Amino acid sequence: MFGKKPILVAGAMSGTSLDGVDGAEIVTDGESIFEFGSAAYLPYSTQERSVLHESLGKWPEDGGLERARDIVHAKHVEVFSTFGEAELFGFHGQTLAHDPKGRGTHQLGDGAQLAQRLARPVVWDFRSADVGRGGQGAPLAPFYHFACAKWIGAKAPLAVLNLGGVGNLTWIDPQKDAPEQEGALLAFDTGPANAPINDYMREYFGKDMDDEGQVAKNGHVMESVLEQFLCDPYFRKLPPKSLDRDAFSKMAGLVAPAAAQDAIATLTAMSAASVINGLEFCPRPPEKILVTGGGRHNPTLMQMIAEGSDCAVCKIEEVGLDGDMLEAQAFAFLAMRVAKGLATSAPSTTGVPHLTGGGILSLP
């Protein structure tokens, strides 16, 4: 059904920050990027975000997910419907729970239903196969990050840092020929990123985020609390490794006694320190760190990361890529790989014992 010829594929991503659905098109054969297409974004309403937030941490057997599922489906159908020429869709769904060494992973949404509503093939359930074979099921974007490094013509090792609800880092050796080649990639979740900051802002300031990092900028970092946070065993664990959005929910308790501005400053410093700690695991120091995800719009967080790093730290737009749509593009790329039977994860990206091709292809 899908041969060697590049086609127009659309992907979508609804991250753990619960801000909305990103959608983007790329022309790809599942190995290289040939062209970038159009993009779309639909924010969740305050009510929709509240329903999704209440569903976080739930598993399929918990029930009571109908409203959240309807929201996820409706919003994705609306986004995907803007891409009238796309021949294939990549649907990640909404991650509600992630426990790869326990109960598994749960991305809310049924791609088969979307295939019927869109009358196009849809690839979905990207993570379950990896988890089922002993992998972390995350992060999954590294294979696309490798293609991006090739597209920008990188020669020296570099890192792509995604600052979403959770932070994840992909170290890339662009001298390798393919992402599945040994030594081409190392990927892992660094720690919490925007999620604890946003949660605190929502509860204490009635805002969805620390806009421009202004609250953190005007607060003071509690160094003793930061040191306590960095004592968590996760930061000594060798990658690959991954986290659930609320794996560090105790952060709220650590900063609870502080003034609100100081709490936000400290939570921001925790996110930055997680990244700086993670850089120590890179096989070789990256020449630069390209930052994507919502956290790149927080100058205070970006400055904290830059001050603790020995290389340039810049927004991914500086190399001609779209930081708002990178993950949506990644699931378009991975959808094409699944459709062609190619691997989507490797021991160096998720810790899965062998190269694994995840995902389900549902036809209309």
Residue 147 belongs to a domain: no
Q: What is the pLDDT of residue 8?
A: 98
On whether both 203 and 314 belong to a single domain, the answer is yes
Residue 348 belongs to a domain: yes
Tell me how many domains the chain contains: 2
Q: Please report how the helices 326-339 and 142-151 are oriented relative to each other, as an axis angle in degrees rounded to 10.
A: 100
Sign of the CA dihedral with 334 first, then 191, 176, and 152 last = positive
Residue 77 belongs to a domain: yes
User: Pairing relation of β-strands 122-124 and 104-108?
Assistant: unpaired
pLDDT digits (tens, 9 = 90+) for 315-354: 999 999 999 999 999 999 999 999 999 999 999 999 999 9
On whether both 173 and 57 belong to a single domain, the answer is no
Residue 16 pLDDT > 80, yes or no? no
Residue 112 belongs to a domain: yes
On whether both 19 and 111 belong to a single domain, the answer is yes
* Half-sphere exposure of residue 198: CA atoms within 13 angstroms, side-chain side: 21
On whether both 17 and 100 belong to a single domain, the answer is yes
On whether both 81 and 187 belong to a single domain, the answer is no
Q: Tell which of 287, 303, 319 closes a domain.
A: 319
* Half-sphere exposure of residue 130: CA atoms within 13 angstroms, side-chain side: 33
Contact status, residue 135 vs residue 352, Cβ threshold 8 Å: yes
What are the beta bridge partners of residue 313? 289
On whether both 174 and 310 belong to a single domain, the answer is yes
On whether both 179 and 308 belong to a single domain, the answer is yes
| Amino acid, single-letter form, for residue 67 | R
Mean pLDDT across the chain: 95
On whether both 69 and 185 belong to a single domain, the answer is no
Cis peptide leading into 157, omega within 30 of 0? no
pTM, two decimals, is 0.93
Report residue 230 as tokens: 């960095």
On whether both 218 and 281 belong to a single domain, the answer is yes
Q: What is the CATH number of the domain that holds 97?
A: 3.30.420.40
On whether both 302 and 336 belong to a single domain, the answer is no
**Which of the residue ranges 159-168, 210-219, 301-310 would you say has the lowest mean pLDDT?**
159-168
d(CA 156, CA 125): 33
On whether both 186 and 134 belong to a single domain, the answer is no
State which residues form the domain around 55.
7-139+324-362
Q: What is the pLDDT of residue 15?
A: 84
| Amino acid, single-letter form, for residue 299 | P
Residue 235 belongs to a domain: yes
Residue 335 belongs to a domain: yes
Name the nearest CA neighbour of 362 among 119, 135, 97, 141.
119
Residue 88 pLDDT > 80, yes or no? yes
Cis peptide leading into 139, omega within 30 of 0? yes
Residue 277 belongs to a domain: yes
On whether both 214 and 283 belong to a single domain, the answer is yes
Residue 1 belongs to a domain: no
Q: What is the pLDDT of residue 251?
A: 85
